[in-house]
Amino acid sequence: MNNFDQKIITSRWAAIQVEKLLSSAARGISAGNATDAGRMWRLPTDHLDPIILAGGVPDDDAMPLQDINDALTKTIENSAEDAMLYGGWFGYEGCREAIADRQNTIEGTSLVADNIIMHNGSSGCLENILKAFVQPGDVVIVESPSYSGTVRAIQGYEADVVTIPMGKIGIDPQTFQETVQRLQSVGKTIKLFYTIADYHNPMGYVTSLETRQKILNTCSQFGILIAEDAAYTELYFDTPPPPSYFALSNGCGVLKMCSFSKVVATGLRIGWIQSRKEFTEPLTRVRFDMGNSPLFHYALAELITSGKLEKHAEAMRSLYKQKCFTLIDSLREHCNSYVTWEEPEGGYFLWVRCKVGNSLDLIKSAAEEGLVFPSGSVFFIDGTQDTSHFRLAYTGESFQHLKDSGLRLRRAFDRILD
């Protein structure tokens, strides 16, 4: 006899508190914002022509869509049998070989395919690293400010996040060492240092070679892994950044997270961990998703080996430099008495400081002018810590909108300073 009653099931679950069923990790973290999820966000605005300088996304019109389409078509025609299967923990070997060869050319390393683990962008790389090496109560040191999505990911693994202020040439090595010693003296296990050394998000700064060397020395002394986020590394304007932590250390104690999201397209969701073999085994040991789509790995391998990816990256460096300085010129013309900034040498972001007023009031006023961007406060663990800065992402908007941004920002300042 079937005594199933949907109303009874519904009423029973209405009485159950879902909060009691959550894991400790889910209970200890709040829901993220749209930026954390990789989506464009915008404050309510009635402006008919909004300028969105909020999300770090590539230029829509500059994506190599035809090259991607050709590579996918070639894959389906010639390699569909393998490309439509599960990807496995490492990913398609041909793609990993192409990446390893390319990285060897760029960095002077000696990578092979087995040093590369394909992932769902650099965010997938970080989750794999946290799952393999971080336990509840471990300490992860991060730069402050830093990308909010990363901090949430670390907190989601119930680690304690300790911040060190980020400066123009990176965090202060002496402060880093003193922080490590202080934490160890009270019995804390410091497992990881997370860094965006090249064209930092949100600040746009580049960690100097000397700072990298000193941080490496301290991390090797105390057995601390470095998770190096290289999402923006290839997007330099004129001169490449200093050698990576990975290259400087020959990969000893460094897990490098790389991605094609910022160079090609975020929707491809292709990234990889670059690591020595002693780290690849535990990383794959805790991976349970059966890998990413080999279809896109095949297509990416085609873009790399054909030389089309290199040409595209070169074009993006030039394009984003022009966009950056179009925005800077607009700010200089209209807002010089209101804001100041450091000119970036690459990447996606301009970190701007208010000379007057505060960024929390400014973002609301700017939205009324149809100009949308985040306050710098969202990139700090304490969301009220910094109300003098804001971040402008210049890569995704049109040149005309970038030219108009300074005037709209000046009008926003005029609103809050009246």
**Domain locations in the chain?**
32-56+311-417, 65-306
Q: Which fold has domain 32-56+311-417?
A: Aspartate Aminotransferase, domain 1 (3.90.1150)
Q: Supply the pLDDT for residue 35.
A: 56
Q: Supply the pLDDT for residue 138.
A: 97
Position 14 pLDDT exceeds 80: no
Amino acid at 20: K
Alpha carbon distance 96, 118 (integer Å): 8
Q: Supply the pLDDT for residue 38.
A: 52
**pTM of the model as a whole:** 0.91
Alpha carbon distance 198, 193 (integer Å): 15
pLDDT digit string, tens, across residues 337-367 = 999 999 999 999 999 999 999 999 999 999 9
pLDDT digit string, tens, across residues 207-224 = 999 999 999 999 999 999
- Give the residue from 207, 201, 279 showing the smallest Cα distance to 245: 207
Q: Which fold has domain 65-306?
A: Aspartate Aminotransferase; domain 2 (3.40.640)
- The set of residues, in sequence order, having a beta carbon less than 8 Å from that of 142 and lying 6+ positions away, is 150, 151, 154, 161, 162, 163, 164, 193, 194, 195
Q: Supply the pLDDT for residue 286.
A: 92
Q: Supply the pLDDT for residue 322.
A: 98
pLDDT digit string, tens, across residues 56-70 = 999 999 999 999 999
Q: Which range among 19-28, 122-131, 233-242 shows the weakest confidence by mean pLDDT?
A: 19-28
Q: Strands 271-274, 116-119: parallel, antiparallel or unpaired by DSSP? A: antiparallel
Q: Supply the pLDDT for residue 30.
A: 67
